């Protein structure tokens, strides 16, 4: 038992003896090291300022690029709208179906499928209700010629609409 007490006391002394110098090294700060660290901090601060300026400049460049992209997108959008309005105006240049005949054969209640349109002078045409129609606008992606459609008169022009694809109108002209 005495032997165990001696060994444990010796182990404790060794552990305490080792930790004391380590602790002393951590607390011992040299003023010279602090003075050396200060110029480095100033240099680092200057570098940080330069990096901040670069980051700010990069942000401004990115914002400028984003603004340029937005402006270009707006111009493209307005050009597409102008084209779309031009095409819609073309859709109003065709003939006119008499109102009583239109109500009897056309509108939302009179759906049909185009099947295969006939291409005349590079433009697709189809026949329905005794009239020929020229498709003025490009055929929308996702639409098939076998989709159910109907002809409607909206704001002075004829349009091809589909209950399967709501919200999309294809401008068409009536050939008399």
Element (H, E) at 153: strand 150-154
129, 110 Cβ separation under 8 angstroms? yes
Average pLDDT over residues 127-149: 94
Q: What percent of the chain has pLDDT over 90?
A: 45
Q: Dump pLDDT digits (tens) for 104-120.
A: 999 999 999 999 999 99
The CA distance from 86 to 46, in Å, is: 59
Average pLDDT over residues 128-153: 94
**Residue closest to 174 by CA, chosen among 122, 117, 136, 118:** 136
The CA distance from 117 to 127, in Å, is: 8
> Residues near 84 by Cβ (< 8 Å), separated by ≥ 6?
137
User: Bridge-partner residues for 158, per DSSP?
Assistant: 153, 172
Q: Dump pLDDT digits (tens) for 63-89.
A: 655 555 655 555 554 444 444 444 444
Check residue 167 and report its DSSP letter: T
The CA distance from 79 to 86, in Å, is: 10
> Phi/psi class of residue 167: alpha, beta or left (left: φ > 0; alpha: ψ in -120 to 50)?
left
53 confidence band (pLDDT: 50, 70, 90): low
148 confidence band (pLDDT: 50, 70, 90): very high
Rounded to 5°, angle at Cα 104 from 98 and 107: 90
pLDDT at 52 over 90: no
pLDDT at 98 over 60: yes
Q: Dump pLDDT digits (tens) for 7-48.
A: 677 666 666 666 655 555 555 555 555 555 555 554 555 555
């Amino acid at each position: 038992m005495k032997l165990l007490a001696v060994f444990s006391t010796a182990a404790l002394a060794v552990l305490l003896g080792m930790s004391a110098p380590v602790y002393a090294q951590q607390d011992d700060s040299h003023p010279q090291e602090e003075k050396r660290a200060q110029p480095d901090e100033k240099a680092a601060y200057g570098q940080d300022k330069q990096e901040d300026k670069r980051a700010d400049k990069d942000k401004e460049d990115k914002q400028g690029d984003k603004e340029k992209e937005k402006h270009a997108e707006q111009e493209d959008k307005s050009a597409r709208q102008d084209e779309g309005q031009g095409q819609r105006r073309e859709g109003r240049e065709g003939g006119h179906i008499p109102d009583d005949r239109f109500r009897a054969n056309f509108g939302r209640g009179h759906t049909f499928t185009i099947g295969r349109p006939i291409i005349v002078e590079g433009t697709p045409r189809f026949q329905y209700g005794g009239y020929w129609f020229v498709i003025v606008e490009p055929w929308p992606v996702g639409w098939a010629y076998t989709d159910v459609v109907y002809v409607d008169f909206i704001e002075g022009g004829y349009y091809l609409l589909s209950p399967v694809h709501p919200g999309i109108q294809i401008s068409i002209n009536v050939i008399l």
